[in-house]
Amino acid sequence: MEEEKSKDNAKLDLKSITEQQSCFDKNWILHLNKQESINDFICLICKQVANNPMEINCSQHENMDESLIVGGNCLNQFLNQNPNSCPVEPHDNCSYFRSRVAKRYINELDVICPRQLQQEQEQQLQMSTQQGYEEGETSEIVNCDFKGK
């Protein structure tokens, strides 16, 4: 019985940690997705892909065409510094709600582990450096032969 409670508590802790994380780095998400597939999910505050997306509902912005999405953690930090304010432009009385649709689409994005992306980038850098070195050797030999003639 206690074991089940500790598992439930661990799940709750994991969920709250995930919700408290900052937004997702769009650079590693764009590695496997097109820019068009994330445009509607960019946090208005940090300009990354929103984690725990919240939609802003303001009467001042009801005619805007774009989605007004912010990450949950970004919104909390913003509201702590700017109580009862709007992240889009200065005014009061905005309401915020969890965007289940945005969350579903964000969860369906193809992602690469940031460590794997970093490793791939390092390998590409090593390969291009190695190719540049080999090309440099060849051109030096050509230059040396040319000077020798």
Considering the domain boundaries, does residue 45 fall inside one?
Answer: yes
CB-based contact 56:88 (threshold 8 Å): yes
Considering the domain boundaries, does residue 139 fall inside one?
Answer: no
Domain with 115, as residue range(s), is: 19-127
Tokens for 122, please give them.
Answer: 């390092």
Q: How many CB atoms lie within 10 A of CB 136?
A: 10
Considering the domain boundaries, does residue 11 fall inside one?
Answer: no
**pLDDT band, very low/low/confident/very high, at 138 (cuts 50, 70, 90):** very low
Determine the pLDDT at residue 11.
43
Tokens for 22, please give them.
Answer: 């900052």
For residue 100, the domain's CATH number is 3.30.40.10
- What is the tally of structural domains in the chain? 1
Considering the domain boundaries, does residue 132 fall inside one?
Answer: no
Q: How many CA atoms lie within 13 Å of 100's alpha carbon, on the beta-carbon side?
A: 0
Considering the domain boundaries, does residue 12 fall inside one?
Answer: no
**pLDDT band, very low/low/confident/very high, at 28 (cuts 50, 70, 90):** confident
Considering the domain boundaries, does residue 133 fall inside one?
Answer: no
pLDDT in tens, 41-93: 999 999 999 999 999 988 887 778 777 999 999 999 999 998 888 888 888 77
Tokens for 96, please give them.
Answer: 């915020």
Considering the domain boundaries, does residue 43 fall inside one?
Answer: yes
Considering the domain boundaries, does residue 64 fall inside one?
Answer: yes
Q: Is 47 left (phi over 0), alpha (psi -120 to 50) or beta?
A: left
Determine the pLDDT at residue 81.
92
